[in-house]
């Protein structure tokens, strides 16, 4: 039995027994959803449907329904793609990296964070698909044997690297998430009374018996997958950043991009986890498990990664001046003072300035402040990608081609739509899946549970 120092704050509050944990986590799955769930779910589904409508309109009519143009050939599509991929970083980081570092506090949040990762990556993967002029030819990006003779994909293209990076990341994350779910599904299965749900959870739990051998293998697989997933956390966003870094466009062609993007991804991912969990905590009555301690830990990650991002912004600015390259210098001057100055300063404020408030312990430990600031980060990180993509493209080398980008209702509809789909999936997850890793939580009850700590 592992012992934990008494001065460490408990991770499970209240007088909880193993059974209480099971009851608390299974309650949303077994009970009936409340009114709020239905309201939020209806709104999400409606927004999602609107988004699906916009996507179908795009596919039916052409990319011309978006606000893109000859000069700015990527805008909200790739902004949203990178934003969602970034959000999709937190889950794996929390479950894999923190597992390797034996951070026990991850157990309260890893399940939802991973779910969020999966859903965010699905949303992200949507955009490279629908932004294609001919989506019906999308399978050509895979190196499939084909009847076109020697036609093969272009391995030089960062977009192709994206295909591999995203699909690998998605499959590993999915497997990791699912492996973790198996014992918890088994718990629900064992408690299920209705035949259909019993059958469904039996299938989902893969015949989990819960014997010691199963647990040993479970632990081993988790560790192996954590080892596999950890480099992916760093590789995915590095590769996404290479879409820009390997190009010749001033503002894109930057060697700092891989680390800067990874830091940004973790930053935005934690912010999204924070946003979601602070809601889930209240709505699903998980106050005992998602504590102020958890919020604080996440805020610390946010302030650190946020500062890294800030340093990256400033380095970029400095290097653009120091390089003496005319185009590079202009690109960054234009970001800050050109027609899109408001996007740049929104980004700077939300990503660099406001997260610094987390240096104050009071703010760090306030749920309200954490929630508000996490929203700021989500907004700021969207603007970061918008700034990188649109303000670099709209005024590049040849001044005669300079232009502006104005989104259409389809652009906006698709972006909101993906948020709708994301929340729809997350809400379904919260109703049918155990939102906390209940079996793992039990492993720390006696070391980090509040009442157990008091007893010692």
Partner 1 sequence: MSNNKVYWRGTEELEKDPAFVKNADKEFSEELPIDKFLSNKDLDSTNTSRRDFLKFMGFGITAATLAACETPVVKSMPYVVKPDEVMPGIANYYASTHFDGYDYASILVKTREGRPIHIEGNKLSKTAQGGVSARVNSSILSLYNKRRFTGPMKEGQSMDWATMDGEIAGLLNNVKNSGGNVRFLSSTMISPSSMSLIGEFKTWMESANVPLDATEEAAPSSASVNHVMYDAVSSAAMIEANKNTHGIAAIPSYHFEKAKVIVSFGADFLINWINPIGFARDYANGRNPEGGMSKHYQFETVMSTTGSNADIRGAIKPSEQGAAVAMLGNAIAGMMGNGGSITASLVNDDNQVESKLKDAASKLVAAKGSGLVISDSNDPNVQAIVNGINEMLGNIGSTIDFSNTMNLRKGSDTEVAALIGEMNAGAVDLLFVMDADPAYTLPSAWGFSDAMAKVKNVVSFAEKPDATSQSAKYICPVHHFLESWNDANPFGNEVTFAQPTINPINNTRQWQDSVLTWMGSADTYYDVLKRRWDAEVTATDDPSVIFASKWNKVIQDGVGSMPMPEMAIVPVFNAEAVSSAASALSKPIDGWEVAFYVKAGIGIGSNADNPWLQELPDPVTKVVWDQYVAMNPADMMSDAFQLNTLMGEQQRAGMVRVTVNDASVELPVVSVPGQKRGTIGVALGYGKGYEGDRLIGENAFAMLPVTQGYIRYSAPATVEKIERRYNIASTQTQHTMMGRKILNETTFSEFKSEGREHWNPVEMLNDAYGNKVTMDKLDLWAEHDIDLGHRWGLSIDLSTCIGCGACVTACHSENNVPIVGKDEVNRTRSMSWIRIDRYYSSDADPEIHGGIDQDKDYQAMEIPSEYPEVGYMPVMCQHCNHAPCETVCPVAATTHSDEGYNQMTYNRCIGTRYCANNCPYKVRRFNWFNYIGDSKFADLNPSQDNLARMVLNPDVVVRSRGVMEKCSLCVQRVQAGKLDAKKAGTPVKDGSIQTACSSACPTNAIAFGDINDKGSNVRSQAMNDRAYHLLEEVGVKPNVWYQTKVRNSEHNADHTA
Ramachandran angles phi, psi of 449, nearest 5°: -70, 145
The C-alpha atoms of residue 424 and residue 361 are separated, in whole angstroms, by 34
Closest CB to partner 1 among 402 and 432?
A: 402
Closest CB to partner 1 among 66 and 297?
A: 66
Closest CB to partner 1 among 133 and 195?
A: 133
**Shortest Cβ 309–partner 1 spacing (Å):** 22
**Shortest Cβ 191–partner 1 spacing (Å):** 48
DSSP secondary structure letter of residue 104 = G
Closest to 12 (Cα-Cα) out of 1, 30, 29, 25: 25
User: How many helices and strands in the chain, by DSSP H and E?
Assistant: 19, 0
Which CA distances in Å does 341 have to 79, 332, 344, 348, 387?
17, 10, 5, 10, 9
**Shortest Cβ 165–partner 1 spacing (Å):** 13
**Shortest Cβ 351–partner 1 spacing (Å):** 21
**End-to-end CA separation in angstroms for the chain:** 13
**Shortest Cβ 415–partner 1 spacing (Å):** 18
Closest CB to partner 1 among 210 and 329?
A: 329
Closest CB to partner 1 among 31 and 60?
A: 60
**Shortest Cβ 262–partner 1 spacing (Å):** 22
Helices (H), 62-157: 76-87, 90-92, 98-100, 110-130
Which chain residues interact with partner 1 by CB under 8 A? 61-64, 67-74, 128, 131-135, 137-138, 140-141, 151-154, 156-160, 163, 243, 246-249, 326-327, 329-330, 333-334, 336-338, 393, 395-404, 406
Closest CB to partner 1 among 164 and 432?
A: 164
Closest CB to partner 1 among 335 and 442?
A: 335
Closest CB to partner 1 among 31 and 133?
A: 133
The C-alpha atoms of residue 49 and residue 52 are separated, in whole angstroms, by 5
Cβ neighbors of 250 (< 8 A, separation 6 or more) are 325, 327, 328, 330, 331, 392, 396, 397
The C-alpha atoms of residue 426 and residue 292 are separated, in whole angstroms, by 22
Categorise residue 62: left if φ over 0, alpha if ψ from -120 to 50, beta otherwise.
left
Closest CB to partner 1 among 53 and 158?
A: 158
**Please, is 212 exposed, middle or buried when counting C-beta atoms within 10 Å of its C-beta (0-12, 13-18, 19+)?**
exposed
**Shortest Cβ 239–partner 1 spacing (Å):** 13
Closest to 205 (Cα-Cα) out of 187, 188, 185, 178: 185
Dihedral sign from CA coordinates of 30, 36, 42, 43:
negative
Closest CB to partner 1 among 60 and 195?
A: 60
**Please, is 52 exposed, middle or buried when counting C-beta atoms within 10 Å of its C-beta (0-12, 13-18, 19+)?**
middle
**Shortest Cβ 86–partner 1 spacing (Å):** 20
**Shortest Cβ 162–partner 1 spacing (Å):** 8
**Shortest Cβ 354–partner 1 spacing (Å):** 24
The C-alpha atoms of residue 107 and residue 257 are separated, in whole angstroms, by 31
User: Which H/E stretch holds residue 239?
Assistant: helix 212-245
- Other Cβ atoms closer than 10 A to 188: 25
Length of the chain: 456
The C-alpha atoms of residue 98 and residue 157 are separated, in whole angstroms, by 33
**Shortest Cβ 414–partner 1 spacing (Å):** 16
Closest CB to partner 1 among 330 and 386?
A: 330
């Amino acid at each position: 039995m592992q012992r934990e120092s008494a001065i460490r704050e408990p991770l499970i509050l209240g007088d909880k027994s193993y059974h209480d944990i099971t009851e608390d986590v299974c309650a949303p799955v077994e009970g009936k959803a409340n009114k709020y769930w239905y309201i939020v779910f209806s709104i999400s589904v409606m927004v999602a449907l609107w988004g699906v409508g916009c996507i179908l309109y795009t596919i039916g009519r052409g990319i011309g329904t978006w606000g893109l143009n000859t000069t700015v050939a990527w805008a909200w599509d790739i902004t949203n793609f990178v934003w969602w991929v970034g959000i999709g970083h937190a889950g794996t980081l929390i479950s894999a990296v923190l597992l390797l570092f034996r951070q026990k506090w991850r157990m309260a949040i890893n399940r939802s964070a991973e779910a969020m990762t999966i859903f965010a990556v699905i949303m992200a993967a949507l955009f490279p698909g629908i932004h294609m002029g001919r989506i019906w030819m999308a399978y050509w990006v895979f190196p499939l044997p084909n009847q076109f003779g020697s036609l093969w994909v272009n391995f030089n293209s960062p977009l192709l690297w994206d295909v591999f990076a995203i699909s690998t990341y998605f499959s590993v994350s999915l497997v990791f998430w699912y492996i973790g779910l198996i014992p918890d599904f088994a718990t629900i299965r064992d408690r299920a009374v209705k035949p259909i749900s019993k059958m469904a959870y039996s299938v989902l739990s893969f015949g989990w018996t819960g014997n010691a051998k199963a647990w040993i293998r479970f632990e081993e697989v988790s560790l192996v997958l954590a080892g596999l997933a950890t480099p992916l956390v760093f590789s995915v966003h590095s590769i996404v950043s290479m879409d820009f870094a390997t190009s010749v466009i001033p503002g894109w062609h930057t060697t700092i991009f891989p680390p800067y993007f990874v830091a940004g991804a973790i930053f935005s991912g934690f912010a999204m986890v924070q946003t979601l969990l602070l809601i889930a905590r209240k709505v699903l009555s998980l106050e005992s498990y998602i504590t102020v301690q958890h919020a604080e830990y996440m805020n610390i990650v946010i302030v650190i990664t946020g500062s890294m991002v800030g340093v990256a912004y400033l380095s970029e600015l400095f290097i653009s001046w120091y390089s003496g390259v005319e185009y590079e210098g202009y690109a960054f001057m234009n970001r800050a003072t050109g027609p899109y100055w408001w996007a740049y300063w929104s980004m700077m404020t939300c990503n660099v300035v406001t997260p610094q408030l987390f240096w104050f312990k009071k703010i760090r430990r306030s749920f309200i402040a954490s929630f508000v600031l996490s929203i700021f980060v989500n907004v700021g990180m969207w603007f970061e990608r918008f700034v990188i993509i649109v303000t670099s493209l709209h005024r590049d080398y040849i001044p005669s081609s300079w232009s502006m980008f104005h989104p259409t209702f389809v652009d906006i509809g698709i972006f909101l739509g993906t948020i709708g789909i994301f929340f729809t999936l997350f809400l379904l997850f919260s109703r049918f899946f155990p939102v906390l890793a209940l079996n793992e939580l039990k492993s720390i009850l006696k070391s980090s549970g509040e009442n157990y700590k008091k007893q010692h």
